[in-house]
Amino acid sequence: MQLGVIGLGRMGQIVVDRTLDGGHDVVAFDLDDDAVATAADAGATPADSIGDFVEQLGAEKRIWLMVPAGKAVDATLDDLDPHLNDEDIVVDGGNSKFQRSVERAEACSAAYLDCGTSGGPAGAEVGFSLMIGGPAWAYDEMTPVFDAVATGPDGHDRMGESGAGHYVKMVHNGVEYALMQTYGEGFELLANGRYDLDMETIARTWNNGAVIRSWLLELCEEAFREEGTPEDPLGDVADHIAGGSTGTWTVEESLEQEVPIPLIYQALAERFDSRNEGRFSRRLANRLRYGFGRHHIARNE
Ligand SMILES: NC(=O)C1=CN([C@@H]2O[C@H](COP(=O)(O)OP(=O)(O)OC[C@H]3O[C@@H](n4cnc5c(N)ncnc54)[C@H](O)[C@@H]3O)[C@@H](O)[C@H]2O)C=CC1
Ligand SMILES: O=C(CO)[C@H](O)[C@H](O)COP(=O)(O)O
């Protein structure tokens, strides 16, 4: 099969490499010329514009978008759409909001597959986990490429109709937030508790046979090994967590569906809290304790 890939960053280049390794042809485009050159070095046919890209793809277009979620997806689809028809297929492999994917599927002249992608840059070696929504015929048609990009045939499946792929990926990310939070809390207690413990040793021991072993726990072990010392397990890593859009969507959806997800919400709240200097609510509680009990008011230096 011939696949066109737009967006050749951390994730898109892996889509290119694994598709080529699977014995398929790739036409590659990115706004960044260096990224296009890297894809060409790997064996893809470079395109220098969307016009050039669609021309090189020929009649039946199979296109994978791996650009940042949001405006870049819309801008790319606007440019592509005049060149598409209902026998073509577009896959959005980024972290798009599922409602936007449903709207884009309705507006797109081609069959549209929303594809949640998990595995991160580490997926270069082992392949990704792909959660796909959209028309069954388009999923079936793309299966050889999904086999190559995913860990294999078991690493991808059609979750359901349009939006279902990005919906499942959204919830996956909510789970990711909560797992990170619970590992963080456990290690925080261990690092500040009553024994003099080594976090890397604990993570390594847990990763070998413990009930709570996982890839995220292997990444905890890696973080302690690469960032810290036994006395200071995370070195100069800051108390600040960026991102948050997929977790926010998960919490919004839980409110709409009236399904309680307190752990995921709490993990999201901790993430927002990490960006605050001096929480207003805690300052007010500090002052209120004086109000009702004449307790000491701690004041800024
Ligand atoms: N990095 C990760 O661990 C994961 C990322 N994702 C999702 O995959 C998508 C891509 O992420 P990354 O590869 O990490 O981003 P990235 O920032 O590494 O790469 C994005 C690429 O898209 C290109 N680009 C941006 N706008 C473009 C446009 N209009 N036309 C053509 N090219 C354009 C950029 O030049 C860049 O090369 C995002 O939606 C992200 O949320 C999903 C799972 C994991
Ligand atoms: O999807 C991912 C992992 O599964 C990406 O790494 C994503 O960028 C993480 O989301 P956030 O920025 O909200 O932490």
**Closest residue by CA, ligand 2 atom 4:** 118
Predicted pLDDT of residue 269: 97
Alpha carbon of 173 to ligand 2 centroid (Å): 7
pLDDT at 22 over 90: yes
Per-residue pLDDT for 123 more than 90?
A: no
91: Cβ below 6 Å to ligand 1?
A: no
Closest among 100, 163, 99, 104 to 131, alpha carbons compared = 163
71 burial type by CB count under 10 A (0-12 exposed, 13-18 middle, 19+ buried): exposed
pLDDT for residue 35:
98
Q: What is the pLDDT of residue 252?
A: 98
SS3 298: coil
* Ligand 2 in reach of 244 Cβ (< 6 A): yes
Q: Which ligand is nearest to the CA of 130?
A: 1
Helix 98-107 × helix 71-80 angle, to 10°: 10
Active-site positions? 169, 176
Question: According to CATH, where is 3.40.50.720 located in the chain?
Answer: 2-162
Say which amino acid occupies 91: V
Choice from 170, 177, 246 to test ligand 2 binding pocket (greatest atom count within 8 A of CB)? 246
What would the mean pLDDT of 229-251 be, rounded to a whole number? 95
What is the fold of 174-273?
Answer: N-(1-d-carboxylethyl)-l-norvaline Dehydrogenase; domain 2 (1.10.1040)
Q: Whose CA is nearest to atom 44 of ligand 1?
A: 120
Residue nearest to atom 11 of ligand 2 (CA): 243
Burial label, 144 (beta-carbon count in 10 A; 0-12, 13-18, 19+): middle
State pLDDT tens for residues 207-234. Answer: 999 999 999 999 999 999 999 999 999 9
- % of the chain exceeding 90 in pLDDT: 96
Chain CA centroid to CA 250, Å = 13
Residue nearest to atom 13 of ligand 2 (CA): 244
Residue 291: what pLDDT? Answer: 93
Per-residue model confidence (pLDDT) at position 48:
97
- Residue 74 confidence (pLDDT): 98
pLDDT, tens digit, 9 for 90 and up, residues 60-93: 999 999 999 999 999 999 999 999 999 999 999 9
Segment among 106-115, 189-198, 292-301 with least mean pLDDT: 292-301
- When pLDDT is cut at 50, 70 and 90, the band that residue 280 belongs to is confident
Atom of ligand 1 nearest to the CA of 93: 8
Please, what is the average pLDDT of the chain?
97
Binding residues for NAD(+), by number, are 7-12, 67-69, 95
Binned at pLDDT 50, 70 and 90, residue 58 comes out as confident
Q: Which amino acid is at 276?
A: N
How does residue 257 score in pLDDT terms, banded at 50, 70 and 90? very high
Q: Is the pLDDT of residue 28 over 90?
A: yes
246 lines ligand 2 (CB under 6 A): yes
Q: Please say whether the beta carbons of 36 and 28 come within 8 A.
A: yes
Separation in Å, CA 75 to CA 6, 11, 296:
12, 19, 57
User: Nearest residue CA, atom 31 of ligand 1?
Assistant: 30
**Mean pLDDT of all residues in 17-23:** 98
Q: Calculate how far, in angstroms, residue 120's C-alpha sits from the geometric centre of ligand 2.
A: 9
CATH assignment, 2-162: 3.40.50.720
Cβ of 176 closer than 6 Å to ligand 2, yes or no, is yes
Q: Is the pLDDT of residue 161 over 90?
A: yes
Provide the pLDDT for residue 49: 97
Ligand 2 centroid from CA 133, angstroms: 19
Centroid of chain to Cα 174: 10
> What does the alpha-carbon distance between residue 2 and residue 125 come to, in Å, rounded to a whole number?
22
247 lines ligand 2 (CB under 6 A): yes
Residue 278 pLDDT exceeds 90:
no
Percentage of the chain exceeding pLDDT 70: 100
Residue range(s) of every CATH 1.10.1040.10 domain in the chain: 174-273
